Amino acid sequence: MVKINRIIVIIGLTMGFLILLILSSCNKNGFTNNPEDLLEFSTDTVQFDTIFTNIGSATNYFVVRNSNQSQAIKIDRIFLGGEANSKYRLNINGFSTNNFTDLELPPGDSIFIFVEVTIDPNRDEMIEEDSVVFISNGNTQNVKLISYGQDVTLINGQYLRNDTTWTSNKPVLIYNSALVDTMVTLTINAGTNVYFHRGSSLFVKGTIIVNGQKDNIVTFTGDRLEDYYSETAGQWGAFLQDNNGNTTGIFGGIHLLAGSRYNEMHYADIKNSIIGLQVDSCVTPGTPTVILKNSNIENSKIIGLYALGAHIEAENCVFANSGQYNLAIFIGGEYSFIHCTMANYWIGNRQTPQLVLNNYYTYDIGAGTQVSYRDLKDAYFGNCIIYGSREDEIVLDLAEGALANFRFDNCLIKSKEFEDITGSDFFIDNIWNENPRFLETSSPFDYRLDTLSPAKDMGNITIGNLVPNDQDGNSRVSDIKPDLGAFERQE
């Protein structure tokens, strides 16, 4: 009996010790009530750049931390200061709610709070302010929210069935793509900004006329206006996916469909698309599908200018920094590029030259493949620069079953494959593999020439007289020595 009592006493003491240990542990890891234990935030202000009204915003976020390494903080309430009238929306620790109570933040832990906003277009002021309020340990803390709104003309999956003009009075925002119908002309006036949501393109069956001016260009770009996205390729352009999420088709950001004609683009800037400009087959013999003047296609994820049996005339244009080709000229056509700059310093593992010429295509016929040939009637490059980070920046994928007419005339070209060709009707008085010495080949890019450029004063004056002023409006023929490319060096 004594032994049993002793065992009971020992067990009791042990359990008591364990209970004390557990209680001690609970106290150690319990909630702090000290008002000096404040929440810490990754920022005191969450700021959104320009938000398009009635569309919403990109998601922004901030982090809430408990810096106390031994005790948790109980956050009694997290809510929006504007409460029911707020234009903001929160996701708190994975829950979509604007009012969260009794949240436990363990020692040294943190949570993410994601924020979205919608701007009311009927407000006189296009600034929306609020705050996320936190109450804990008797303290009231907050993180400020501020957004700047911009009213837009929204084009949401629309057919343009009548002649339409977009002006600079309001930006244009394209959601779910848009189509300019057959026999319809879309005119875009100087200074207009056209923004595209992800997966959206502008398809043209009829005609598009872009009337940009030297100091008042027309811009086509994605709808993410934060600084982070200013040089992010692939933000817009339609694509198709199968049920497994695999991409099965990609379209041009601006896509001139077969049958489109009489298109012109003056001082247009097309940037950050998947494919910048796609031009399908020519339908009016002797008339260009599109005329490009003083325009830039830059930072395309795959291809800048994608031409399929088209007729294109371009002058004073810049085609730059694409993930594959700056210019992809496939299945023949007719082309003229005069005083254009083609530069590709894509950051990443680019596997292709920036310029390809092709005059055929293949297709499956069941047991094998069939080749169809399309004449490359002419592809003329005069007083151009074709340079970039690869050893060979041009490839001629030309078959004997169709015409393959091309000329590189007084150009600066980077290519080891063709540099030894002399006395050719296809390569005439070119400069090979000399760095053109652009002013800046990383962001912010500047394809004007520095004073020691080998492209300076090396153009053919007869070609220069065809385009006597450069993209900046400077004369390139006043000294009878035009520079190569889209810009005349100004000392």
For residues 242 and 283, state if they share a domain: yes
Tell which residue, 116, 132, 98, 127, has the closest CA to residue 56: 116
Tell which residue, 328, 308, 262, 266, has the closest CA to residue 289: 262
Q: Which helix (H) or strand (E) holds 248?
A: strand 247-250
Q: What is the CATH number of the domain that holds 157?
A: 2.160.20
- CA 491 – CA 486 distance, rounded (Å): 16
- CA 94 – CA 101 distance, rounded (Å): 14
| Helix-, strand-, coil-residue percentages of the chain, each rounded to 5 | 10, 45, 45
Q: 423 φ, ψ to 5°?
A: 65, 30
For residues 125 and 160, state if they share a domain: no
For residues 217 and 327, state if they share a domain: yes
Number of helices and strands in the chain (H, E): 2, 42
Tell which residue, 349, 312, 359, 339, has the closest CA to residue 447: 339
Q: Over the stretch 253-274, which tens digit does the pLDDT of each residue have?
A: 999 999 999 999 999 999 999 9
For residues 138 and 182, state if they share a domain: no
Please say whether the beta carbons of 119 and 87 come within 8 A: yes
Tokens of 312: 């294109």
User: Residue 356 sits in which domain range?
Assistant: 152-464
In a domain, residue 23? The reply is no
* Boundary residue ending a domain (99, 122, 149): 149
| pLDDT recorded at residue 124 | 65
Amino acid at 162: N
In a domain, residue 1? The reply is no
| pLDDT recorded at residue 7 | 39
Buried b (16+ CB within 10 A) or exposed e, 118-145: bbeeeeeebebebbbbbbbbeeebebeb
Please say whether the beta carbons of 278 and 256 come within 8 A: yes
Q: What is the CATH number of the domain that holds 44?
A: 2.60.40.2310
For residues 124 and 262, state if they share a domain: no
In a domain, residue 353? The reply is yes
For residues 103 and 240, state if they share a domain: no
CA 313 vs CA 102, 263, 407: distances in Å: 66, 11, 14
* Boundary residue ending a domain (113, 129, 149): 149
Ranges under pLDDT 70 in the chain: 1-29, 123-125
Q: How many domains does the chain have?
A: 2
Buried b (16+ CB within 10 A) or exposed e, 261-294: bebbbbbbbbbbbbbbbbbbbbeeeeebbbbbbb
- State how far Cα 300 lies from the chain centre: 7
For residues 144 and 161, state if they share a domain: no
For residues 143 and 195, state if they share a domain: no
In a domain, residue 487? The reply is no
In a domain, residue 10? The reply is no
In a domain, residue 187? The reply is yes
For residues 193 and 70, state if they share a domain: no
| pLDDT recorded at residue 118 | 87
- CA 131 – CA 141 distance, rounded (Å): 10
Tokens of 34: 């000290």
In a domain, residue 476? The reply is no
* Boundary residue ending a domain (94, 122, 149): 149
- CA 412 – CA 425 distance, rounded (Å): 16
In a domain, residue 380? The reply is yes
For residues 176 and 273, state if they share a domain: yes
- CA 129 – CA 334 distance, rounded (Å): 55
Please say whether the beta carbons of 361 and 374 come within 8 A: yes
For residues 405 and 436, state if they share a domain: yes
For residues 278 and 332, state if they share a domain: yes
